[in-house]
Amino acid sequence: MEKVKRTLGRSYGQFCGLARALDVVGDRWNLLIVRELLPGPMRFNELMTSLGGIATNLLTERLRTLEAEGIVERRLGEAGVRYALTPWGAGLREPIEAFVRWSAPLMMTGRDGGSFQPRWLAVALPALLREVTADPALEIGFEVEGALMVLHVDEDGPRVEVEPDRRPDTILKAAPEIILGLAADALTIDQALAAGHLRGDIQILRSILPPGRATAATTPDPR
Amino acid sequence: MEKVKRTLGRSYGQFCGLARALDVVGDRWNLLIVRELLPGPMRFNELMTSLGGIATNLLTERLRTLEAEGIVERRLGEAGVRYALTPWGAGLREPIEAFVRWSAPLMMTGRDGGSFQPRWLAVALPALLREVTADPALEIGFEVEGALMVLHVDEDGPRVEVEPDRRPDTILKAAPEIILGLAADALTIDQALAAGHLRGDIQILRSILPPGRATAATTPDPR
DNA sequence: CTGCATCCATTTTGATACTG
DNA sequence: CAGTATCAAAATGGATGCAG
């Protein structure tokens, strides 16, 4: 029989923008699903493995809810179903980027066994480098955990492309925590080089990163 | 036997800024508690009534967790315990304001029986009026649901003061949905006046609000 | 393979009653 | 005022099953 049920997560019942936003995307996993889709559409199983640990029924239910809310849309292509953000759903980039900036101190405690997906950097780097511009435009390749991505910087700001069509001239190899430390200005280029965690031509890097404070060794943990 | 300590909300276990932020403030009620505290410190019972419906044990547990994370601090004054944001906790204003802007379409569907607290406007108005500046500075009083607050706008942008020390010269009376509609540019001043939902000297209002598009009657619901 | 649906043990939440 | 204690209901996390 049909399920009439439909509490779709409890509503806070408040006439407040934050509360209404959380009514829609506040349930567990929802914002992480949006984060996954920000760099581009994905299939169900890609979401499963990238999110790591979400149960199949939950992912199904979340995608259905997000679709009903107008945040995610199903695209039926020749290769099967792909999930993509609607324009309104892509607007969640702003609060997500704000969270990424706010949480920078939490990242400086190190990776600590957490899982990692290169595409997360495609979200984090523009968030952390928000005010960086370059004219003429430049691009830097990053090879992280075997995946290649390209950071484009022009007068409008930074943008990251995953799985680029062509390889950029400059490619840096580094661990994710090094890239993040540099972008969050919690680590200097010299420190990264000295530790042997950064390889490649770093001249372009110097041009876009702030001079870098030598405070990286101090505890950035706010607690 | 002693409680061995529980898992303090399940961690996503991801090396990602968004995931780590949600590990810390992603649990139900947490961001709403931060929203309450953004305009200023509050006591336990004030939080209870303003949040409307949170169980006492949950509020206790959330405040403890937020305190342990360094987001909230207990202040023991002569009048008892008050809860306040730490500087790092106050940094959540950015993602919260981004959510408020993103959710504007959800607010245009009307109040719909939701609860409302005037202090929520102290968060929403600066979020929606972010890019508005004024030189020389100006101030407008708002009387909403019996509470008075003052919107200050100067060259740095907007800021709202709740329970101001002195009454401003100009005071507007309006329902919350009208104020929000105007600030979100989904409603024109003329529409609000024509509907009789706005009373007071609106000359200053015109100076800070954009001309206003006449599209307010069209459905703003993104779904 | 992909995209789910069902079952079930464990957690988390919400509502209420009660206390220093 | 500022919480504790208790308990039923709901959400979550895994495992497994299954059709196209």
Q: Residues A146-186: pLDDT tens digits?
A: 999 999 999 999 999 998 999 998 899 999 999 999 999 99
Q: Residue B212 above 70 pLDDT?
A: no
How far apart are the C-alpha atoms of B147 and B196, rounded to whole Å? 19
Q: Which residue has better confidence, A5 or A55? A: A55
* Mean pLDDT calculated for residue range B165-173: 91
Number of H helices and E strands in chain B, helices first, is 11, 7
> Who among B28, B102, B111 is closest to A15 (CB)?
B111
Q: Give A114→chain B minimum CA distance, Å.
A: 4
Say yes or no: A135 and A185 in one domain.
yes
pLDDT in tens, A178-214: 999 999 999 989 888 888 888 888 888 888 887 655 4
Burial class (CB in 10 A: 0-12, 13-18, 19+), A187: buried
CATH number at residue A82: 1.10.10.10
Residue among A206, A199, A184, A193 at smallest CA distance from A134: A206
Statement: the CB of A110 is under 7 Å from strand D: no
Task: Measure A93 CA to nearest chain B CA, in Å.
Answer: 9
Contact assignment for A21 to B114 by CB distance below 8 Å:
no
Q: Tell me how crowded residue A25 is: count the other CB atoms within 10 A of its CB.
A: 25
Strand nucleotide closest to residue A56 (CA to C1'): C4
B80 and B134 fall within a common domain: no
Domain that includes residue A145, residue range: 101-207
Check: pTM over 0.85? Answer yes or no: yes
Tell me whether residues A32 and B19 touch, CB distance under 8 A. yes
Share of chain A above pLDDT 90, in %: 73
Q: Same domain, yes or no, for B181 and B122?
A: yes
Average pLDDT, chain B: 89
What token pair was written down for B196?
A: 């009789």
What integer is the mean pLDDT of B106-132? 95
**Token output for A78:** 């020749």
CATH code for the domain of B157: 3.30.1050.10
Mean pLDDT calculated for residue range B173-182:
94
User: How many Cβ atoms are within 10 Å of A196's Cβ, its own excluded?
Assistant: 7
Question: How many distinct structural domains can be found in chain A?
Answer: 2
In this structure, what token pair is assigned to residue A21? 């936003």
Q: How far apart are CA B176 and CA B178, in angstroms?
A: 5
Burial class (CB in 10 A: 0-12, 13-18, 19+), B102: buried
User: Is 60 exceeded by the pLDDT of residue B6?
Assistant: no
State yes or no: pLDDT of A7 exceeds 60. Answer: no
Residues B72 and B109 in one domain: no
Residue–nucleotide distance: A3 CA to C6 C1' (Å): 14
Residue A159 belongs to some domain of the structure: yes
Distance A68 CA to D12 C1' (A): 21
A117, A132 contact by CB (below 8 A): no
Whether B56 is in a domain gets the answer yes
Q: CB distance A102–B96 less than 8 Å?
A: no
